Amino acid sequence: MNIQSLLHNSSLKRGTLFTIFSFANNGISFLLLIILANYITPNEYGQLNLFNILISLLSIFISLSTIGYIPVSFFKKTQKEFRQVINTVLFTSTSTLVLISFILLIFNQSVEKWVGISTQYQFIALLICYMQLYTSINLEIWRIEEKTIAYGFYSLSSVILNFGLSLLLIIIFHQGWLGRVYAQMLVVSIFFILSIIIMIKRGYLTIKIPEKKIIIDTLKFGIPLIPHNISFWFRQGLDRNIINYFFTATEVGIFSFAMNFANIISIVGNAFNATNSVFIYKQLSNNNEKVQITLRKQEHLMFLFFLGLSIVTFITVSLFIPIFLPKYKDAIYLLPPLCLSAFFQCIYLLYVNYLFFYKKTRLLMYITFSLSFIQGILSLCLTRYGMIWTAYISLFISICTTFFVYICSRKIINKSNSEIKL
| CA 387/CA 255 separation, integer angstroms | 7
Model confidence at 168, pLDDT cuts 50, 70, 90, reads very high
Which pairs from 35-41 meet CB under 8 Å and 24+ separation?
35/167, 36/166, 36/170, 36/180, 37/257, 37/325, 37/328, 38/325, 39/170, 39/171, 40/170, 40/176, 40/177, 41/250, 41/253
pLDDT score of 13: 63
Q: Which residues, other chains included, contact 136 with Cβ-Cβ below 8 Å and sequence gap of 6+?
A: 67
pLDDT score of 282: 79
- Is residue 326's pLDDT more than 50? yes
Select from 412, 398, 55, 63 the least CA-distant residue to 231: 398
Q: Are 59 and 132 in contact (CB under 8 A)?
A: yes
pLDDT score of 6: 42
Neighbours of 146 (CB within 10 A): 16
Condensed to tens digits (0 to 9), the pLDDT of residues 335-356 reads 999 999 999 999 999 999 999 8
Condensed to tens digits (0 to 9), the pLDDT of residues 200-243 reads 999 998 888 888 999 999 999 999 889 888 887 877 777 888 89
| CA 263/CA 224 separation, integer angstroms | 26
pLDDT score of 268: 86
Select from 412, 283, 289 the least CA-distant residue to 359: 412
Condensed to tens digits (0 to 9), the pLDDT of residues 57-92 reads 899 999 999 998 998 898 878 888 999 999 999 999
